[in-house]
Amino acid sequence: MENTGRGSEGNRYEHRPVLLNEAVDALVWRTDGFYIDGTFGRGGHSRAILARLAPGGRLLAFDKDPEACAAAQLITDARFEIVHGDCAALREQLNQRNAPRVSGVLLDLGLSSPQLDNPARGFSFSADGPLDMRMDPRQGESAAQWLARASQQEMTEVIRRYGEERFAGQIAKAITARRMQSDRYGPLARTRELAELVARAVKTRPLGRHPATRTFQAIRIYLNQELQTLSAALDAALEILEPGGRLVVMSFHSLEDRIVKRFMQTHARAPQPGAALRYLPLRAPAEPAPALKLGPRIRARDAERKANVRARSAVMRSAEKLG
């Protein structure tokens, strides 16, 4: 997740990576290692990693967004390579490169600022744009297409599960009612109309939070299968890390952080033997050992939180793979 400012023409959506130094400090432990940036965005973390690496180091980055991959072409460092695709495919991409183990994996979850701040992408309710919300606009179903066909029950379940929205039923009912008026008003296809519709359906909301925040989050996460991708990427990262390798993950809402926390905590505990083996006397070397050693949980400092509103919800967790 990155902050943005208005730059010169041709570079409208600048970025400010969150927890940049903290993430790179936790990730890079050997300068000649092979590292993964699973969410390139606009390359803030990738550039910082490359600055830490020796000539023998290597960085492989992933991003589903074709605009992010186009921006990655500006990095001419021979140690760097970008993959247009999902970070859940870590193992397959490494196998193609005959690199079965890596020194570190970084996952900076959520949206980049260019995605969020560009109305044409449809991720935000702060400016009017088409209801798209796809990380890769060339693949899959847009938000407008999904809202036009999903049942009221399906919309309720998605908004409640991925947005943790207690007014999910009322919102889905309002969308269904609006859909029945498509002959008169046309399809529900703009971000501003959806945000206004949700605002009328949501009765209360904490001060300072837009009523449509949770609904937009839910639809985006569902359409892009973000939580499924995260779980698959975590499993792959644990498998491909070499002993001593680092896993660093930054999340920006509770659903992501809950998955990361449970994953790391589960693998930081010694696995329990099966029922048949529980009472057998095992020698110490044969006893199951934990796979990860947990690092500290880090939040952005006050200065960064004040300078970058999107740093306020950031949580960074890290772990080291044990030998």
The answer to whether the annotation marks 84 as part of a ligand binding site is no
CB 262 within 8 A of CB 120: no
Counting Cα atoms < 13 Å in the Cβ hemisphere of 28 gives: 22
Contacts of residue 182, defined as CB under 8 A and 6 or more positions apart, other chains included, come to 148, 188
The answer to whether the annotation marks 267 as part of a ligand binding site is no
Q: What is the DSSP string of 238-300?
A: HHHEEEEEEEEEEESSHHHHHHHHHHHHHHHSPPPPPTTTTTS---GGGS---SEEE---EE-
Encoding tokens for residue 71?
Answer: 């921006």
Phi and psi dihedrals of 269, rounded to 5? -100, 145
The answer to whether the annotation marks 63 as part of a ligand binding site is yes
The answer to whether the annotation marks 43 as part of a ligand binding site is yes
Q: How far apart are CA 161 and CA 182, in angstroms?
A: 27
Distance of CA 36 to the CA centre of its chain: 14
Q: Exposed, middle or buried: residue 225 (CB in 10 Å: 0-12, 13-18, 19+)?
A: middle
Helices (H), the chain: 20-27, 44-52, 66-72, 90-96, 113-117, 143-149, 152-163, 168-179, 182-185, 191-201, 213-224, 226-240, 254-268, 302-307
CB 62 within 8 A of CB 37: yes
Distance of CA 255 to the CA centre of its chain: 11
The answer to whether the annotation marks 295 as part of a ligand binding site is no
Binding residues: 43-45, 63, 108, 115
Binding residues for S-adenosyl-L-methionine: 43-45, 63, 108, 115
